[in-house]
């Protein structure tokens, strides 16, 4: 049984691994894997990253520069423009942080983030993140499989979905001071249980070997790489296990445009634009959008009996 503890001190800037060192370490790990060697301990990294390992599902595509990943963001609670989240990021205080885990599980409670993270081995996963506005990024995330957390908290047979909730605090999140159209705060999202248990689904705590910046969803966010980016909810404070399909923010906001599943599907156009092409951030030319964002081989079987034009 977990015991609620006081929050760990935040990692100071002097302890953060420089990006150049991180890249060199990643290259070394990649070489070691190809050579059949075991992963060496990353003794110079902060403790949070000491067990990071490359992940089998990672893409080998060119990564989006760190500067672009952290300065071009969708996080409406910190501002509706792409540059506003980074400008307002200082408002969000990410330590101490706790997460309530409840619903149809055996071990409900509110837990300090340190206790949430402590048992888990963090991995590096280089995933694509695609937004509905037809732009995309390739990001080296650090985190652990959501499935590992789910197993820890032992859902009951009634748990069919996993629901998520973002922090609601207008003092820290200026975008919540208005309803942003018809938004009803806090931001909420959800997955079907088999989606949540899929090994691609990640709870992310960092990127590029560094703690998550606030504008990218610190200190804990979801990453579901075969879905549009709005499914990957940020700054999570609640994870609930439910029998019924949970409401989701964008589906409530505009159900004719945003479905519950939000799978990347180039054959289904958004009502206001085509999804067939996308532009990688930092690139001039567009490229074809791949079914399930390029992860069809891994996840298509989850939807084999569904009409993906109806269940978008």
Q: In the 8-state DSSP scheme, what is residue 248?
A: -
pLDDT value of position 233: 98
Which residues of the chain are modeled with pLDDT < 70?
A: 1-54, 179-182
pLDDT value of position 134: 87
CA distance to 11, 113, 130, 229, 281, per residue, from 135 (Å): 32, 32, 6, 10, 6
Q: In the 8-state DSSP scheme, what is residue 18?
A: P
pLDDT value of position 24: 41
Closest CA to 72 of 136, 127, 16: 136
pLDDT value of position 237: 98
Closest CA to 224 of 261, 249, 255: 261
CA 251/CA 189 separation, integer angstroms? 9
pLDDT value of position 183: 83
- Strand partners of residue 136: 130, 280
CA 182/CA 168 separation, integer angstroms? 16
CA 194/CA 213 separation, integer angstroms? 29
- Stated length of the chain: 312
**How much is the CA Rg of the chain, to the nearest whole Å?**
19
pLDDT value of position 179: 63
pLDDT value of position 57: 85
Domains of the chain and CATH, by start: 46-303 (3.90.420.10)
pLDDT value of position 181: 60
């Amino acid at each position: 049984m977990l015991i609620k503890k006081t929050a760990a001190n935040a990692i100071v800037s002097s302890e953060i691994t420089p990006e150049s060192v991180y890249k060199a370490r990643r290259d070394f790990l990649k070489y070691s894997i190809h050579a059949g060697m075991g992963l060496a301990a990353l003794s110079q990294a902060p403790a949070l990253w000491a067990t990071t390992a490359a992940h089998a599902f990672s893409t080998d595509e060119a990564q989006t520069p760190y500067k672009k990943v952290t300065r071009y963001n969708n996080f409406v609670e910190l501002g509706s423009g792409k540059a506003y989240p980074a400008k307002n990021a200082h408002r969000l205080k990410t330590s101490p942080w706790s997460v309530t885990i409840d619903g149809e599980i055996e071990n409900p409670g509110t837990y300090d983030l340190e206790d949430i993270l402590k048992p888990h081995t963090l991995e590096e996963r280089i995933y694509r993140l695609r937004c509905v506005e037809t732009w995309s990024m390739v990001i080296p995330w650090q985190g652990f499989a959501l499935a590992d957390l789910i197993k820890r908290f032992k859902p009951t047979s009634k748990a069919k979905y996993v629901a998520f909730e973002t922090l609601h605090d207008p003092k820290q999140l200026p975008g919540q001071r208005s309803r942003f159209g018809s938004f009803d705060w806090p931001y909420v999202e959800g997955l079907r249980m088999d989606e949540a248990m899929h090994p691609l689904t990640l709870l992310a705590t960092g990127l590029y070997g560094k703690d998550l910046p606030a504008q990218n969803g610190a200190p804990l966010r979801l990453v579901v790489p075969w879905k549009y980016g709005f499914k990957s909810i940020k700054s999570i404070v609640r994870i609930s296990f439910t029998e019924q399909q949970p409401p989701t923010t964008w589906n409530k906001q505009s159900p004719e445009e945003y479905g519950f599943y939000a799978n990347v599907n180039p054959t289904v156009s958004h009502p206001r634009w085509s999804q067939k092409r996308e532009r990688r951030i930092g690139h001039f030319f567009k490229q074809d959008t791949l079914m399930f964002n390029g992860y069809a081989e891994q996840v298509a079987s989850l939807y084999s009996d569904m009409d993906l034009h109806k269940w978008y």
